[in-house]
Structure formats: C-alpha cells, structure tokens
Amino acid sequence: MLMGFPEDMHQPKSFSLMAVCFYFLTYEAAVALLLIPLSSNSYEDKLLLIIVFLLPHILFSIFICVRSLRLKVLEAFSTNNDSVLGDGRFSQAGCQDKMVEESLAATKRKEESELKNVALEALEALKKERAKYKEDRVAWENEIAKYEEDRVAWENERASYEEECQRWQEERLAWEDERANLEEELREWEYERQGWEHEREDLETRREICEKESERRRKDLEAELDTVRKCAQLYRSVLHDYDSFNLPKN
C-alpha cells in the first residue's frame, strides 16, 4: 500500500512533512480502492474495514515517531560530540550518522514491506469475503425465489380452497332451502295425516254404528223368523188336524 520515500528525506523536518503528505495521499487512495467494491453493511464488514483502516495508520504513526525520535537523539548526540571532541571527531560522527541512516532506511523498507503485506492480506481477505458474500447473496436470492414460488403456490391453493369453500357454502344454502321445503312438506303431510286420523275415527264411529244397527236388525229378523217359524208350525199343526178330521176340501 505504501511506496518508497525519496532519498532526501534524511532530515527530520523534511522527512516528517513529506512523509505525512505522502502518507495521506497514498492512504486515501488505498482506502478509496478498498471502499469501492464493498456493498454490504454487516457488522463483520464494518469491523474488518475499521481494522484495515486504522492498523496501517497506527503502524505508520509509530514508525514516524520512532524515526523522528531517533533522528533527534542522533542530532543531539552529534552536536554534543562536535562541541566536546572538536572537528577531528566530526567525520567519525558523520559516518555513524550515515550507518544509522542506512539502518533506519533498511528498517523503514522492512516496515513498509510488512505494511504492504498486511494491506495485501487485508485486501485478499476482503476479496474472499466479497466472493463469499456474493455466493451467500446468490443463495439468498435463490432461497427468496423458492419462497416466492412457494408463496405463489400457497396463494393458488388458498384461492382453490376459497372457491371450494364458496361452492360448499352455496351447496349448504341449497341444502338449507331443500330442508325448509321438506319441513314444509312434512308439515303438510302431518296436517293430512291428522285429517286422515279424524276421517278414520269417523269411519270407525260409523262402522260401530253400522255394526250396532246390523246387530239390531239381525235380532229383529231372527225374532221375525221365529215368529214365522211358529206360524208355520202352527199352520202345519192345523193342516195335520184338518187331515185327521177328514174335512172336505174346498
């Protein structure tokens, strides 16, 4: 993420000013590149973005502070050696400063490489996370499509159930009408049955009356028949007496 610094940045003031300017330029560009492909708003993405955003800043700030402190210490030490030892020791102090500068440059390159590796690893992790989120999004879309199909099927089934329920309601109303008609017919039949019962009772009464009248007439006829039999018997006895006296016949 970070590039190499210019060669003339061995002085503390020049180093600090140019480093800060270069750092913010490169860092803003890197953050922009990292933020462009991100589209999710989950907590894990925000935490990862905060780590990626703050970690290089903290490391580079520590590096700038340590480098500035080392240069200030070396400058103070070189100034003290020049005042105590004189010009004869100035060249030796300059060589030591050069060695320290080379060591710091090597340390700087190593830290830049480490920061670059961290940034690349973070970017690779973000790419993997983005691919994973794409796969999850495709799976979610497929699941949503499946749920939508199920919802449409449920809606169709519910519509069929409603149609069947409406048909059952109509049939129930028809059965209610038919039951009312049957009850009306049953009441009519009950009225007719009551009329038949009254008529049957009347017929039973008339039959009893006819039986009594028949019995009375039978008794009368039997009495008349007895009378006729008695008359006939009397007539025969008279004829027998007549025959016995030999009376002349007229």
Alpha carbon separation from 121 to 31, 71, 111, 115 (Å, rounded): 14, 31, 15, 10
CA gap 2, 111 in Å, rounded? 10
Task: State what percent of residues in the chain have pLDDT above 90.
Answer: 20
Angstrom distances, CA of residue 6 to CA of 3, 30, 47, 100: 10, 20, 34, 17
pLDDT, tens only, 73-92: 777 766 655 444 444 444 45
Query: Among the ranges 9-18, 40-49, 164-173, 228-237, which has the highest mean pLDDT value?
Result: 164-173
Give the number of residues written for the chain.
250
CB 23 within 8 A of CB 49: no
What does the DSSP 8-state code read for residue 246?
Answer: T
Most confident of 90-104, 107-121, 143-157, 222-236: 143-157
pLDDT score of 8: 43
Give, in order, the Cα–Cα distances in Å from 186 to each of 106, 174, 181, 193, 201: 115, 18, 8, 10, 22
Answer yes or no: is pLDDT of 15 > 70.
no
Q: Which residue has the higher pLDDT, 59 or 33?
A: 59
Domain ranges for the chain, please list them.
1-244
Model pTM above 0.85: no
Furthest-apart CA pair in the chain: how many Å? 225
- How many angstroms separate the CA atoms of 98 and 102, rounded? 6
Cα 105 → chain centroid:
63
Average pLDDT of span 35-62: 60
Q: How many CB atoms lie within 10 A of CB 49?
A: 16
Report whether 52 contacts 122 (CB < 8 A). yes
Contact, 64 vs 83, CB < 8 A? no
